Amino acid sequence: MLFVMLSKYHYWAYQQLYSVIEQVDDENYHKENGLFFNSIHGTLNHLLLVDRLWYSRFNHQPCKITDLGLIIIKDRNELKQAIFAQVDLWIEFTKKAANGIAPATLTYHDTKGIFKVADYQQTLCHAFNHGTHHRGQISVALTQLGKLAPEMDLIYFKNT
């Protein structure tokens, strides 16, 4: 199923990204560098926060997040562990979903509390594509620090 592959890609892309992030010292890791969420850490934190938010919506669990820039984990190692734990949850979720029939729509409340109805499969694609978008931004920040950009294109994942 497509979503199992995307969830596994999500994990792999984080592995590729972290192989370079781990070469960055704490000062540059936390430095504001023009990213929408300020720093590499801030952007990774946003990725975790939004993954948790969408995961809770797909599992019909409450998740009261009103600030998408909220720093939920300050420690960089703890954040890395939490990101990979969340991606593991996505993998398990998509494996279970592959065995059933997905509903046509997903209903949820947005961060402002507004009730939404969205196409289920498109929204699940969005959850994974969102990660791709921000990992690309971090990749730019890494190149600005003189690091090689990790290869994170989906086609490279499919050929591993």
What would the mean pLDDT of 9-24 be, rounded to a whole number? 97
What is the DSSP pairing of strand 115-119 with strand 105-109?
A: antiparallel
Taking a C-beta distance cutoff of 8 angstroms, is the pair 101, 75 a contact?
no
The pLDDT, as a whole number, for residue 159 is 65
Are residues 150 and 17 in contact, defined by beta-carbon separation less than 8 angstroms? yes
Helix (H) or strand (E) holding 131: helix 120-144
Q: How confident is the model at residue 62 (pLDDT cuts 50, 70, 90)?
A: confident
pLDDT tens digit sequence for 114-144 = 999 999 999 999 999 999 999 999 999 999 9
Residues of the chain with pLDDT > 90: what percent?
84
- Mean pLDDT within 98-117: 90
Average pLDDT over residues 57-66: 90
* Number of structural domains the chain divides into: 1
- Residue 24 CA to residue 79 CA, distance in Å, equals 15
Answer whether 17's CB lies under 8 Å from 152's CB.
yes
* Domain around 139: 2-158
Looking up residue 32, the CATH number of its domain turns out to be 1.20.120.450
Please compute the mean of the pLDDT values over residues 28-49 and round it to a whole number: 96
